[in-house]
Amino acid sequence: MKLAYWMYAGPAHIGTLRVASSFKNVHAIMHAPLGDDYFNVMRSMLERERDFTPVTASIVDRHVLARGSQEKVVENITRKNKEESPDLILLTPTCTSSILQEDLHNFVERSTLTLTSVVNNTDTSGEVMVKAKATRPGANSTFYPITTLLSKTKLGLNAQALSLESFIPFVNKGNKSKILLSTFAEGAKYTSGGSKMKKATTASLNAVVALAHGPKALTNDQKNKDLLFVHSDNNYTLSKTFDNSKQDHRTKQSGKKNEGTSSAPVLPREVGAPRVLDLFRPLLNLDVVKETTSIKPVDKFIENQQPDVILADVNHYRVNELQAADRTLEQIVRYYIEKAKKQNHLNITKTEKPSVNIIGIFTLGFHNQHDCRELKRLFNDLGIKINEIIPEGGNVHNLKNLPQAWFNFVPYREVGLMTAVYLKSEFDMPYISITPMGLVDTALCIRAIGNIITNILIEKKKDLLRNTIQNHFNNKAETKEGGSEGKNKADILLNLFNNYIDQQTRFVSQAAWFSRSIDCQNLTGKKVVVFGDATHSAAMTKILAREMGIRVSCAGTYCKHDADWFREQVSGFCDQILITDDHTIVGDTIKKLEPAAIFGTQMERHVGKRLDIPCGVISAPVHIQNFPLGYRPFLGYEGTNQIADLVYNSFNLGMEDHLLQIFGGHDSVQQDLDQTNIKNNLLNEGTTDNIVFMSKKNEFELWSSEGLAELNKVPGFVRGKVKRNTEKYALQNNIPLITVEIMYQAKEALST
Amino acid sequence: MVKVVLSNEDKNSHLKIRDNGFKWGGEPPIETLYDKDAFLCDKYVKKESSLYLVNVFFECETGNYHTFCPISCVAWLYQKIEDSFFLVIGTKTCGYFLQNALGVMIFAEPRYAMAELEESDISAQLNDYKELKRLCLQIKQDRNPSVIVWIGTCTTEIIKMDLEGMAPRLEVEIGLPIVVARANGLDYAFTQGEDTVLAAMALASLKSKNHNQQLENHFNNNKTSKTSVSLLTEKIEDKPQPTEKSLVLFGSVPSTVATQLTLELKKEGIIVSGWLPSQRYQDLPIFNKDTLVCGINPFLSRTATTLMRRSKCTLICAPFPIGPDGTRVWIEKICAAFGTSPVINPLTGKTKLEEREFFIFQGLEEYLKLIRGKTVFFMGDNLLEISLARFLTRCGMIVYEVGIPYLDKRFQAAELALLEQTCKEMNVPMPRIVEKPDNYYQIQRIRELQPDLTITGMAHANPLEARGITTKWSVEFTFAQIHGFTNAREILELVTRPLRRNAMQNKTLLTRPE
């Protein structure tokens, strides 16, 4: 037994349910007592989900306990099949019901049998039944969101817009129609939402480059022409970008907001950013935008008239939420791959053009939706087709297509790595699990992608390689064509990737420039503490140390199962490594180190509030504040901007802090406020801290009047710290009275 | 859809199942039925309630519904009982629920914690007693509470951890009273957690009286531990033994609300001699056969049973003091139980209570304007539904359906009667009352009925709003101050908020040029 107040990672079934509810048309049945089903609340509230969470609790109560749960579980599975006709029904127990040691495998088999017999019955009644079922868009009695209903009744667009207004009352006029359209597009997938969406968002020009580097970009234009050609089918030209660069910044922002609200799998193409490496674009017949929006026909009613039923196989007492999510995702993927193998449906031919699976984007993840969009943009820029994204928005029947991608991409190592490893061992698919967070790691990641693609091209796709090279250089590369050695070609290709990195780093991302700016200089050497999941904490530590010159006093993670990797990643970038899942240890460490800022989870944010230290939230677990409506990725080049903003805004006042130091501080805060500050500190420290306790008792005995007067000149937000440090110093050196001199002695002693 | 028709006649054989496989889907097993004599109902209510039960159909869907886990009661109980510490003995799932449901409370150093059961506990490799002792000693040392409340969960039920057996031994050993409440989701829903804790405290009160002598003997034998347990005995001696009829109210409300209700009763000349729970555990009231008890929350049926059967108290059967109408009748019933009649204003000839009710309703007019004639649907969550439905009916709303996780028809008899009477007086049909509703079917019904307002759990709020259904979280009524005359405004403030928001937004949108 363990006395516990709070935990970083949740119980196993939460992870399982997060994976299950991320997939489209998958229903989870939770075998659990009343009250264990708060996952529905979490998802509905935090993700502001418009649809009912596809999780049903098959309630275990006293009567069920007495009778055994089989009947109830099987009944619920068959009922859900009737009501929602999902592709997959995933059964999961919770910590509580798993100790009942019921044969849930058997329940699953039973229900599969029941479902089969139902389907057989319908088969006898002929095709009509099946067809009727198929024509119904979804469940027989599903209660659609308004948007969908409207689209079905074929009201005019105006009418739709009018009734939709009630949903979004606070937007200004300019943006309204766009949001309407995107809302509409999201809700009503049956209309050609994608194209409208695109129309709405084409206005949102990413003018970052042009704004910041107008004159430079012009020369860049020249550069582009040297290296690559600008394709006429791209619906932008550089000149257009510059025209629009005058557009005010707010348009861009609002445009982005627009896109952020829609979680539909639509990739609005960012027009402004120079797509430096449109490597394979001319060869891709389909535009990526179309590719991702078009809903692949689900051949469920042809090949699969009954849902699959799986029992999530997780030990609820040994693994946490993240491990369980990883495990469940692998289990589902393995199930469908094996199934396809058995039915000889498995197609392992690689796609014609470079393609990728993104594994591990899922619901309730930290900024996952935003990151996903940024990743789509990144791959789009690189000319890499996205084969599948799982689990978020994925269709389980498309899982058999996973092996067709050239490689797998795991953005967060907590979830998805097991799947990638499985696919690697099964199909020898390479995978990348370098998180593209921060400029350095993003570059690293893109280079790794470049290597994989180059290798595959050289080994397997010689034709495509030749075409690519030809296509890119047909105007001028006669000479290069002659010496077509593999190595040479590889260099050319890798060079293209490097150029892309260079372009993005210098002109798209503002973070590199920020690192060089005078603003960032003021952050140099400030102490911070970083804590979070392994992925985000490690990446953040490296960004702060490498890219901003901030001193990371302590980097830590609660992913104890990933401790070795974490140590390896952050060693050399921080003074101290902390691996624990006990929030009190983290809190104590922060208190002891007194950093200028914290980057952590919701818990560290609250620790920071208590200690009056600012905190930027960089990792789950988070509260609803970290499910922003706007576009806030942490990955990719836009992510670097967001992170730089977060870091800069997290520090107390940023620039103002520095100015206060220069000019000695205005300190207009009243004395009584300072007193309350000090008092608060005293309260927080409690009586365990002898020094502080003493200072409370003997404030006027310990400090000389001049000393106190001097202390009051110190800016309010560091006064407590200075006071404590000075007192500590005095105590250690047996100094009975703190004078102004002693104060500065203490300061010197501490700074050496 | 399962439809089970219940009436008074087949109360006990009530769950006749139509087409799902369950032969049984009724109440959690409250161990006993009510002792009929212990009810103190005046004739009017008796007649009305029996009439009512014959006439009105209840349904029990026995469906898949969602409410919070009953362990969430620690959220408000630890704040109410200021010298307590709540130890929830359960798994990571329970802990994660608490931290999500109670949100940021953890940062205020709450007086509750989880005793998280690990694999070694489940597989009985460790000794429960030793483990709990270790944790309780730690709590005693760190927080020094006057009582530790053990909250049993589904897990302790399933592994059959003998909490009730361990507690008496341990409380002697560590010198702190331990109250054991089984607030598990197998038997109870959401607010019933409070019921289990209060029932346990009522028993503890009884036990401390009975075992007073035994404890003293024990202390004499072990003189070393005498000082540490002295509070157990002091408490008993301090209490004046009531000889006349005394009134104890049970149900947890913030102390300001408790004061308000106490004062309302004082106006009618009735002195409240104690509250269960009180601000401090040491002020636990004494119950005996001369004690009249009355509940203020509709979900406290088990506490009521315990007080009647074990402590031999007399239960005053009254509606609950929610809304001015309910509060008035509640006070009237208590007056009747004490054999007094409400004070009459000589100028008007009406009782002061009636005048007060009228006056309060008058003050609410600005809210009433917004809801009169509007329809409301309760999906069912916190067992306050019947009382709220009754008050909203009185306010002029039409209630379509009252979903409720569990309905004790005896304990809520007076409330049900008042609901029926209110419906008659307001000339609206009786709402359909669905016990253990099935959320999926409810959503189909909401779709059909399109109510103006749906009071629902958090899981369904956003999806319903997305479908054009105006919602309000039911959980807000659990945490808001809704009891008594004064707080009626609070209820309507909550009820009308979504309606006001929609009105404001529509206005903004309509007046915008374009």
* C-beta atoms surrounding B311 within 10 Å: 20
What DSSP letter does each residue of B321-383 carry, written as one string?
Answer: SBHHHHHHHHHHHHHHHTT----B-TTTSSBHHHHHHHHHHHHTHHHHHHHTT-EEEE---SS
Q: What's the alpha-carbon Rg for chain A, to the nearest Å?
A: 29
> How far are the Cα atoms of B323, B366, B395 from residue B360, in angstroms, in the given order?
9, 12, 12
Residue length, chain B?
A: 514
Please say whether the dihedral angle defined by the alpha carbons of residues A256, A257, A258 and A260, taken in this order, is positive or negative: positive
Residues 92-151 of B with CB under 8 A from A: 92-97, 99-101, 103-104, 106-107, 110, 113-119, 121-122, 126, 128, 131-132, 134-135, 138-139
CB of B190 less than 8 A from some CB of A: yes
Q: In what order do the strands lie in the sheet with B147-152?
A: A2-4, B112-116, B84-90, B147-152, B178-182
A44, A71, A72, A96: best to mutate for the B interface, most B CBs within 10 A: A96
CB of B191 less than 8 A from some CB of A: no
- The CATH code of the domain that includes A741 is 1.10.8.550
> How far are the Cα atoms of A519, B156, B177, B225 from residue B131, in angstroms, in the given order?
55, 14, 17, 21
Q: A42 to chain B: which residues are within 8 Å by CB?
A: 100
Residue A268 is assigned to a structural domain of this protein: no
Angle between helical axes of A439-459 and A636-650 (0-180°, round to 10): 170
> Which one-letter amino acid corresponds to residue A651?
F
Q: Strand runs (DSSP E) across A392-442, as ranges?
A: 407-409, 431-432
User: Are A356 and A498 part of one and the same domain?
Assistant: yes
Say if residue A302 is exposed, middle or buried (CB neighbours under 10 Å; 0-12, 13-18, 19+): exposed
Residues 6+ apart with CB under 8 A from A561: A323
pLDDT along chain A (752 residues), means of 10: 88 95 94 89 89 92 87 91 91 89 87 74 41 38 48 41 39 39 39 37 32 36 35 36 39 40 38 44 41 42 69 91 96 95 89 93 93 95 93 92 95 95 95 95 95 87 70 52 60 88 89 84 88 96 93 96 95 95 93 94 90 91 88 95 90 63 55 48 46 52 81 76 85 84 76 55
Rounded Cα distance, A89 and A80, in Å? 8
CB–CB of A185/A266 below 8 Å? yes
Residue A382 is assigned to a structural domain of this protein: yes
User: Are A435 and A456 part of one and the same domain?
Assistant: yes
User: Are A555 and A409 part of one and the same domain?
Assistant: no
Q: Which two tokens stand for residue A353?
A: 């053009």
Q: How far is the alpha carbon of A671 from chain B, nearest alpha carbon, in Å? A: 27
Please report the pLDDT score of residue B286 as a whole number.
87
- CATH for the B70-202 domain, from 3.40.50.1980, 3.40.50.300, 3.65.10.10, 3.40.190.10: 3.40.50.1980
Cross-chain residue pair A35–B69, CB shorter than 8 Å:
yes
Peptide bond into A391 cis (omega under 30): yes
CB of B64 less than 8 A from some CB of A: yes
CB–CB of B353/B419 below 8 Å? no
**Cα B250 from chain centroid?**
9
User: Are A575 and A496 part of one and the same domain?
Assistant: no
User: Are A549 and A636 part of one and the same domain?
Assistant: yes
Cross-chain residue pair B113–A61, CB shorter than 8 Å:
no
Cβ-Cβ pairs closer than 8 A, A with B, add up to: 200
What number of H helices and E strands is found in chain B?
Answer: 21, 15
Q: Is the ipTM of this complex over 0.85?
A: no
Q: Among candidates A555, A748, A511, which has minimal Cα distance to A646?
A: A511
CB–CB of A608/A615 below 8 Å? yes
Residue A233 is assigned to a structural domain of this protein: no
Residue A149 is assigned to a structural domain of this protein: no
> How far are the Cα atoms of B40, B290, B294, B315 from residue B308, in angstroms, in the given order?
11, 11, 11, 7
Please report the pLDDT score of residue B441 as a whole number.
94
* C-beta atoms surrounding B271 within 10 Å: 10
Q: Among candidates A404, A325, A319, A312, which has minimal Cα distance to A360?
A: A325
Q: How far is the alpha carbon of A163 from chain B, nearest alpha carbon, in Å? A: 10
Of A73, A100, A118, the position where a domain reaches its end is A118
Please report the pLDDT score of residue A305 as a whole number.
62
CB–CB of A496/A278 below 8 Å? no
Residues 104-163 of A with CB under 8 A from B: 141, 143-146
Residue with tokens 């007492």: A317
Q: Which two tokens stand for residue A693?
A: 């306790």
Q: In what order do the strands lie in the sheet with A551-557?
A: A577-579, A551-557, A527-532, A597-600, A615-617
Residue A333 is assigned to a structural domain of this protein: yes
Please identify every residue of A annotated as catalytic. Answer: 519
Angle between helical axes of A716-732 and A690-697 (0-180°, round to 10): 100
Q: Which two tokens stand for residue A655?
A: 């620039």
Q: B184 to chain A: which residues are within 8 Å by CB?
A: 33
A34, A63, A140, A321: best to mutate for the B interface, most B CBs within 10 A: A34
User: Are A626 and A741 part of one and the same domain?
Assistant: no
Peptide bond into A11 cis (omega under 30): no
Helix (H, G, I), strand (E, B) or coil at B477: helix
- The 3-class SS string of A99-141 reads CCCCCHHHHHHHHHHHHHHHHHHHHHCCHHHHHHHHHCCCCCC
Cross-chain residue pair A34–B185, CB shorter than 8 Å:
yes
Of A118, A148, A171, the position where a domain reaches its end is A118
Name which of A41, A60, A63 is nearest B458 (Cβ-Cβ): A41
**Checking DSSP bridges between strand B147-152 and strand B246-250, what pairing results, if any?**
unpaired
Q: Which two tokens stand for residue B316?
A: 């005053």
Please report the pLDDT score of residue B466 as a whole number.
93
| Closest residue on chain A to B508 (Cα) | A169
Of A118, A134, A165, the position where a domain reaches its end is A118
CB–CB of A108/A310 below 8 Å? yes
Angle at CA A419, nearest 5°, toward A389 and A624? 55
* C-beta atoms surrounding B501 within 10 Å: 12
Q: Which two tokens stand for residue B353?
A: 């209570």
Residue A128 is assigned to a structural domain of this protein: no
Q: Among candidates B209, B237, B90, B112, which has minimal Cα distance to B159?
A: B90
Q: How far is the alpha carbon of B211 from chain A, nearest alpha carbon, in Å? A: 30
Please report the pLDDT score of residue A203 as a whole number.
32
User: Are A368 and A450 part of one and the same domain?
Assistant: yes
Rounded Cα distance, A690 and A724, in Å? 11
Helix (H, G, I), strand (E, B) or coil at A547: helix
- The CATH code of the domain that includes A51 is 3.40.50.1980
Look at chain A and report how many structural domains it folds into: 4
| Closest residue on chain B to A76 (Cα) | B64
CB of A59 less than 8 A from some CB of B: yes
User: Are A446 and A541 part of one and the same domain?
Assistant: no
A58 phi/psi in degrees, rounded to 5: -90, 100
Residue A300 is assigned to a structural domain of this protein: no
Largest pairwise CA distance in chain B: 88
A318 phi/psi in degrees, rounded to 5: -110, -25
Q: DSSP code of B497?
A: H
B246-338: which CATH topology?
Rossmann fold (3.40.50)
* C-beta atoms surrounding A432 within 10 Å: 20
Please report the pLDDT score of residue A709 as a whole number.
81
Residue A655 known to bind ligand: yes
- CATH for the B352-506 domain, from 3.40.50.1980, 3.40.1480.10, 3.40.50.180, 3.30.70.1140: 3.40.50.1980
CB of B368 less than 8 A from some CB of A: no
Peptide bond into B342 cis (omega under 30): no
Residue B94 known to bind ligand: yes
Name which of A3, A11, A35 is nearest B135 (Cβ-Cβ): A3
Taking only the tens of pLDDT, chain B with its 514 residues reads: 333 333 333 333 333 323 333 222 333 333 333 334 444 444 333 444 444 443 456 888 888 888 999 999 998 999 899 899 999 999 999 999 988 876 655 556 788 899 999 888 888 788 899 999 999 999 999 889 999 999 999 999 999 999 999 999 999 999 999 999 999 999 999 999 999 999 999 998 887 766 554 555 555 555 444 444 444 444 444 444 445 789 999 999 988 889 889 989 998 999 999 999 988 998 889 888 899 999 999 999 999 999 999 989 999 999 999 999 999 999 999 999 999 989 898 888 899 999 999 999 999 999 999 999 999 999 999 999 999 999 999 999 999 999 999 999 999 999 999 999 999 999 999 999 999 999 999 999 999 999 999 999 988 999 999 999 999 999 999 988 899 998 899 999 999 999 999 888 887 665 555 4
Cross-chain residue pair B134–A99, CB shorter than 8 Å:
no
A455: number of CA atoms within 13 Å, CB side?
Answer: 10
> How far are the Cα atoms of A13, A523, A566 from residue A647, in angstroms, in the given order?
34, 9, 21
Domain-by-domain residue ranges, chain B? 70-202, 246-338, 352-506
Cross-chain residue pair B93–A34, CB shorter than 8 Å:
no
Angle at CA A21, nearest 5°, toward A16 and A26? 105
User: Are A437 and A401 part of one and the same domain?
Assistant: yes
Residue A728 domain boundaries:
705-749
Cross-chain residue pair A95–B460, CB shorter than 8 Å:
no
User: Are A644 and A628 part of one and the same domain?
Assistant: yes
Residue A294 is assigned to a structural domain of this protein: no
Residues 6+ apart with CB under 8 A from B429: B398, B423
User: Are A574 and A604 part of one and the same domain?
Assistant: yes
First to last CA, chain A: 45
Residue A600 known to bind ligand: no
User: Are A455 and A527 part of one and the same domain?
Assistant: no
Identify the H or E element spanning A455. helix A439-459
Let me know if the fold of B70-202 is the same as that of B246-338: yes
